Structure 1
Amino acid sequence: MANPWLSRRRMVLSAAAVPLALSMAPRAAPAAAANVEAAARERIELDDGWDFRFGDDESGWEPVRLPHTWNDQDGQDGGDDYHRGPGWYRRTLRLPAESSSSRVFLQFDGANTVTDAWLDDVHLGQHRDGYTRFRFDITGTVRPGADNDLVVRVSNVHNADVAPLSADFTFAGGLYRSVSLQLTTRCTWTCSTTADPAPTCANAR
């Protein structure tokens, strides 16, 4: 004869297992969320259209494409006699007029070692490190629908307060990785990196 207590216990355990199994089942990522994220952020590559000169002499500009370093030749022999100094980059930025509703960041994926940037003669800031990505918020400076003059100074001069101070490799100067514009909505979460002292666009409106 079946034990009624055991039968009821099996029924309770079976009923409890159904929601547990459903909660553990893998869920597909919602396509709508991915579409919203893609629409909220746009990346514009800026690897083409640059002019470059080494040193502070105003002459001698030459066209280059990123990534670029002025130590691609003299930094290959393993010695410590390669050029260390300031290099200058310039190019024109033009954003479509409709991007005036976006927040705009100028992003550098790698520049060695101390980098200063100006947009239409406005100093955007300085970054002191050769191996981390960084951004400048240019929303209030860039003029959508017009030509904007971007100038970047990068120096790989030995600097006692910028690590590393010495290494068994060349401190290749220049914009050695890509540069881009990051366009986001006016309300975004933080866009800061580990190299930034504080968030640059947290919950901005």
Structure 2
Amino acid sequence: MSGDPLIKRAKQAVSALAQTTSNTLPAVQFFSGPNLRTEGMLFNPNEGAEPEELYNEISLILTAIASLKDHVDIFCKRSKIPKIGDGIIDSHREVALIHDLWNVDKHGSLNRPPRSGFTPMLRSVSRVVTLTASGENSVVSIFFNPISGMMETQGEVQVLLSAQIVTEDGEFIADFRPTCEAALAIWLREIEWLGIDISTKLLHEGWMA
């Protein structure tokens, strides 16, 4: 059976996560000291971002990743092989957390026992700036070039959607983005186990770096 519908759904999941990453720095404000010389700069990655906008992005990511379970099971049914979706959820904590968060997002609460062992919630939802060195012993910096009038960076700068996954009592469980990345990687690996060369397909079409 063709795996095209699964590949299409995988593309949606990869795209949903990628759309919450930007390499563009937010607007920078400079501040001066008593002598009117510029002494520093400030930038706020959350400026102009409404909370509803961030939660909409989270809902899109949760739906795109968690719904892979249904598409995998449909493929299994049509291929006349045992369904594997529930087994994947029960075998991987990251996948279970995303599935529970998706159900909380859809229904407001869980109407069945959580697959992860927790009723997960999200807190500290925001955008953050990350700086990554481009090579061994490299320096990461952000600076203003007075000649070009532009902000320039040394190393990789990214603005990412960030959140923490916590229990109902507020106990930290995991960071949201790495959990999404791990869950998506597990689903892609399991899809390949079904005989669909999905990683090569996504790489070839530019969906994965």
TM-score, normalized by the shorter chain, greater than 0.5: no
TM-score (norm 2): 0.28
- Which one has the bigger helix percentage? 2
Q: TM-score, normalised by structure 1?
A: 0.28
Report 1 or 2 for greater relative contact order, CA contacts < 8 Å, sequence distance ≥ 6.
Answer: 1
Q: 1 or 2, which has the higher strand percentage? A: 1
Which structure has the larger Rg? 1
